[in-house]
Amino acid sequence: MYLQIGKISKNWGLKGEVKVYSCTDFANLRYKKNNTVYLKEDDKYIPLKVNTYRKYQTGIDLVSFTGYDSLNSVEAFFGKEIYALKEEISLPKNTFFYSDLKGLNAYSPNEKYLGVVENVKEYPAGPSLLIRVNEKNTVLVPFIAQFINKVDLENQKIYINEIEGLF
């Protein structure tokens, strides 16, 4: 399974370096020298080996690929998304892919059903879970230890501490 990690916007200089709008929390791991990333072109995933990586601004990285050392060689990449293979990605302990959290059934620690995780939203303070409580109501729950009791991917459940006024 491929996970999108960024989108190439344009070149940075003349030596093949590109500006990438990253959508991964672990850019320094994804763009590590010699790692393989995949450029999506139509329905194909083209492997590219990372040559260099550096942080530019929040959410923007500068990356170059082995064998692509000029502006002309990377022009075809502009506007294309880049991916990593989920199976090749290792996450730090107690971190999760957003795609794995979506669809989890939310429960209180005493097994009271609270809703379903509809989406994960990224905010400056950190990620929050958008939980659909019923047809009309959703709540945002910060994905931090004070709110999240346990994530059980095997049983498709997430346990959330019920804090007064939250649900």
Structure confidence by residue, pLDDT tens digits, 56-87: 987 899 999 999 999 999 999 999 999 998 87
pTM of the model: 0.66
| Euclidean distance between CA atoms 24 and 15, whole angstroms | 25
15 or 90: which carries more pLDDT confidence?
15
Asked if pLDDT for residue 54 goes beyond 90, the answer is: yes
In this predicted structure, the answer to whether residue 4 has a pLDDT above a threshold of 80 is: yes
Q: Is the pLDDT of residue 92 over 90?
A: no
Q: Which fold has domain 2-88?
A: Elongation Factor Tu (Ef-tu); domain 3 (2.40.30)
Burial (CB count within 10 angstroms: exposed 0-12, middle 13-18, buried 19+), residue 80: middle
If one compares 28 and 154, the residue with the highest pLDDT of the two is 154
Using pLDDT thresholds of 50, 70 and 90, give the confidence band for residue 103.
Answer: very high
Q: Which residue has the higher pLDDT, 48 or 95?
A: 48
Q: Check: CB of residue 108 under 8 Å from CB of residue 83.
A: no
Inform me whether the pLDDT recorded for 122 exceeds 90.
Answer: no
Domain boundaries, the chain: 2-88, 98-160
pLDDT of residue 39: 96
Query: Is the pLDDT assigned to residue 88 strictly greater than 80?
Result: no
Q: What is the pLDDT of residue 164?
A: 79
- Report the C-alpha gap between 46 and 39 in whole angstroms: 5
In contact, 68 and 49? CB cutoff 8 Å: no
Strand partners, 18: 11, 63
- HSE, CB side, 13 Å, CA atoms: give it for residue 44: 4
CATH topology for the 98-160 domain: SH3 type barrels. (2.30.30)
Do residues 37 and 84 make contact, with C-beta atoms less than 8 angstroms apart? yes
What pLDDT is recorded for position 131?
Answer: 95
Residue 89 pLDDT level (bands cut at 50, 70, 90): confident
**Which structure tokens are listed for 13?**
């200089």
Q: What percent of the chain shows pLDDT beyond 70?
A: 100
